């Protein structure tokens, strides 16, 4: 995906989300942030108002959120395979390992993605979503329930850039945005 913003900005925002700190967006990347809904917007829509192609994008974002926030004992490297671009994978896996696996922790619970809009242009897409990880927790490895010392997830608006590769949508640049959802 071509972006005017360096990848480290997206990685820094993502790292902030992973450690559950308050982080925000530093503006639009200039790629698809201002794009209009996909060309197939007039096609058949589901109950939520999204086309089949837009639903594929949303499903990819949901799979990514689950792989990060609700993967249980599955190693992050394994959980993210086939869900993110190679570039994002190379940044997020070491960061998430530090927070969980290397620290003797794991993530339990669930993460939900509430889609607001999807814009698709060719093999690039941007999904505006609300990530709700308030039922996802970082706990000591082996724990199956939330106890003292567990860290709770966040609820945050996000813009998620994706690329289509070999027919599948891959998360390329998740960015937290200002505000609440």
* Predicted model pTM: 0.77
How many domains are there within the chain? Answer: 1
In this predicted structure, what is the pLDDT of residue 148?
A: 85
Q: Does residue 181 belong to any structural domain of this protein? A: no
Q: Does residue 25 belong to any structural domain of this protein? A: yes
In this predicted structure, what is the pLDDT of residue 155?
A: 95
Instruction: Look at residues 168, 162, 170, 179 and name the one whose alpha carbon lies nearest to residue 31.
Output: 162
Q: Does residue 35 belong to any structural domain of this protein? A: yes
Q: Does residue 2 belong to any structural domain of this protein? A: no
Q: Does residue 86 belong to any structural domain of this protein? A: yes
**CA gap 59, 39 in Å, rounded:** 19
Quick: pLDDT tens for 110-125: 999 999 999 999 999 9
- The token pair at 55 is 């639903």
Mean pLDDT for the chain?
Answer: 82
Q: Does residue 104 belong to any structural domain of this protein? A: yes
Q: Does residue 1 belong to any structural domain of this protein? A: no
**CA gap 31, 18 in Å, rounded:** 24
Q: Does residue 80 belong to any structural domain of this protein? A: yes
In this predicted structure, what is the pLDDT of residue 31?
A: 46
State the CB neighbour count (10 A cutoff) for residue 68.
Answer: 27
User: DSSP class of residue 68?
Assistant: H
In this predicted structure, what is the pLDDT of residue 43?
A: 63
For residue 18, the enclosing domain spans 7-176
Q: What is the CATH number of the domain that holds 53?
A: 3.10.450.50
Contact present, 174 and 157 (Cβ < 8 Å): no
């Amino acid at each position: 995906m071509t972006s005017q913003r360096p990848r480290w900005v997206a990685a820094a925002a993502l790292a902030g989300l992973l450690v559950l700190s308050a982080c925000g967006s530093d503006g639009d990347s200039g790629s698809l942030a201002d794009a209009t809904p996909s060309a197939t917007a007039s096609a058949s829509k589901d109950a939520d108002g999204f086309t089949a192609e837009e639903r594929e994008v949303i499903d990819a974002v949901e799979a990514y959120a689950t792989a990060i926030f609700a993967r249980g004992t599955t190693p992050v490297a394994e959980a993210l395979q086939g869900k993110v671009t190679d570039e994002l994978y190379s940044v997020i896996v070491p960061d998430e390992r530090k927070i969980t696996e290397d620290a003797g922790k794991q993530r339990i619970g669930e993460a939900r993605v509430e889609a607001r809009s999807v814009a698709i242009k060719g093999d690039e897409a941007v999904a505006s979503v609300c990530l709700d990880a308030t039922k996802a927790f970082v706990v000591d490895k082996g724990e199956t329930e939330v106890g003292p010392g567990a860290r709770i997830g966040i609820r945050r608006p996000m813009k998620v850039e994706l690329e289509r590769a070999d027919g599948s949508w891959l998360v390329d640049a998740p960015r937290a945005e200002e505000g609440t959802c």
